[in-house]
Chain A
Amino acid sequence: DTAVSQTPKYLVTQMGNDKSIKCEQNLGHDTMYWYKQDSKKFLKIMFSYNNKELIINETVPNRFSPKSPDKAHLNLHINSLELGDSAVYFCASSLRTSGDHTDTQYFGPGTRLTVL
């Protein structure tokens, strides 16, 4: 049983295209996240959703738009892809509704996006 799943695992596309990455969690968690890991392995939060509502939207270009149809899903749509968008994108989820530093985040397997 996969706890946090992402599709696709690999995504290769041309500059200027629009693409989506899907994320689903079957843990019954209330909060979901998108992180970006750059070529130097540095991980940074992009978005956080709590019960389908956006909580955090870090300084991310508005070409990136998260969509949460229900609390088990958080998809990432990217418009007009650029070379600099090439990275690994991780979805994560955690249990609690309110911010709690004890709340562990569990990560999906990641999606490696390559923009040519």
Chain B
Amino acid sequence: AQKITQTQPGMFVQEKEAVTLDCTYDTSDQSYGLFWYKQPSSGEMIFLIYQGSYDEQNATEGRYSLNFQKARKSANLVISASQLGDSAMYFCAMRGRGAGSYQLTFGKGTKLSVIP
């Protein structure tokens, strides 16, 4: 079974500052993928970034980077230079191999509020 834990129900960050959203995971799979999605107040789920368990480098996509620490089973999302439009729910998710690979297991999410 796979499990994702996001321990921060809500976070505040000042505009233009960087913020880290925490995510830890638990799986018995040797090979897996980690994903972050953004859900603004309008409700859609937007894919942000992906990290594979065997990727040696941390993933980056524009202002988003994933701080992957495999030994600690953490996959924290770092947003640099926060913007007002970054205010949203952020979900960490993972996908394993085999039968479990057809679904994403989600964490409970972190609500990020960017303060002007």
Contact = CB atoms under 8 A, between A and B. Distances in A.
Interface of A: 31, 33, 35, 40-45, 48, 50, 55-56, 58, 88, 90, 92, 99-110, 112
B52 A33 contact: no
Contacts of B109: 41-42
12 contacts: A33-B103, A35-B104, A40-B108, A55-B102, A92-B45, A99-B100, A100-B101, A101-B101, A104-B35, A104-B50, A105-B47, A109-B43
A99 B47 contact: no
Given A40-B108, A43-B91, A88 B43 contact: yes
Contacts of A50: 102
Given A42-B108, A112-B43, A99 B50 contact: no
Closest 5 CB pairs of A and B: A99-B101, A107-B45, A101-B33, A45-B103, A43-B106
Given A41-B39, A112-B43, 4 more contacts: A42-B106, A55-B102, A101-B31, A105-B35
Contact of B102 (A42, A48, A90): A48
Contacts, number: 72
Nearest to A88: B43
Contact of B103 (A56, A102, A106): A56
B44 interface: yes
Interface residues of B, number: 31
A115 to B, nearest CB: 18
A110 B35 CA distance: 19
Contact of B44 (A40, A58, A101, A110): A110
Interface of B: 29, 31-33, 35, 37, 39, 43-47, 50, 52-53, 89, 91, 93, 95-104, 106, 108-109
Contacts of A56: 99, 102-103
Contacts of B47: 104-107
A48 B102 CA distance: 7
Contact of B45 (A100, A102, A110, A112): A110
Given A45-B103, A55-B102, A102 B50 contact: yes
Nearest to B51: A102
Contacts of B44: 107-110
